[in-house]
C-alpha cells in the first residue's frame, strides 16, 4: 500500500510526467495532480495522501514546512473499493484545494510554487492496466 512504482507512473501521460519535480514520484502542480488522480483512478488506483513540496524561484526544490500534506486515508472495514476511492478522492480534493488557497494568499516563500507529491494504492482485485 502506498508503493508507487514505475509501471504505474507510465500510466500517466508523458505531458503530466514532464511536470513532475521527480522522476520516481508524481510531484505535480495542482491542476496536473488533480488530472493524474482522475486518470489513475480509472485504472484501479486511489490517492492515499499527498505531501507538500516547494519549487523555489531559483529552481531549487524542497519539502514544504507549512504545507505538510494529508494523512494517509484508511479503508473502513467492509467498505467497497468504489466507496473508498470516492472518499479518498474527496479528501484529496478538499485538503489540497484548501492548502493551495492558503498558500496562494500567503506563500511560505515569496516566488515559490506549491507542488503535490502523490501517494497511491492499487485495487489488488483489478487486473493490471485496466
- Could you give the domains of the chain? 6-122 (3.30.190)
C-alpha cell at 91: 479528501
C-alpha cell at 128: 493490471
What residues contact residue 1 under an 8 Å CB cut-off, 6+ apart?
48, 121
With 0.75 as the threshold, say if the pTM is over it.
Answer: yes
CA angle (75 as vertex; 123, 41 as ends), nearest 5: 40
Residue reference for cell 494523512: 71
What residues contact residue 33 under an 8 Å CB cut-off, 6+ apart?
26, 50, 96, 115, 116, 118
Instruction: Output the pLDDT for position 39.
Output: 95
Tens of pLDDT, residue by residue, the chain (130 residues): 344 454 567 899 999 999 999 988 999 999 999 999 999 999 889 999 999 999 999 999 998 888 888 888 889 999 999 999 999 999 999 999 999 999 999 888 889 999 999 999 887 655 454 4
Amino acid at each position: 500500500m502506498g508503493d508507487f512504482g514505475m509501471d504505474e507512473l507510465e500510466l500517466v501521460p508523458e505531458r503530466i510526467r514532464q511536470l513532475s519535480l521527480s522522476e520516481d514520484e508524481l510531484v505535480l502542480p495542482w491542476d496536473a495532480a488533480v488530472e493524474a488522480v482522475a486518470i489513475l483512478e480509472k485504472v484501479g488506483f486511489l490517492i492515499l495522501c499527498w505531501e507538500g513540496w516547494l519549487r523555489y524561484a531559483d529552481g531549487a526544490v524542497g519539502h514544504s514546512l507549512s504545507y505538510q500534506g494529508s494523512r494517509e486515508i484508511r479503508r473502513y472495514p467492509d467498505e467497497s473499493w468504489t466507496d473508498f476511492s470516492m472518499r479518498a478522492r474527496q479528501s484529496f480534493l478538499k485538503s489540497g484545494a484548501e492548502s493551495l488557497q492558503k498558500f496562494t494568499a500567503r506563500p511560505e516563500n515569496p516566488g515559490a510554487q506549491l507542488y503535490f507529491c502523490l501517494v497511491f494504492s492499487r485495487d489488488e482485485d483489478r487486473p493490471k492496466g485496466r
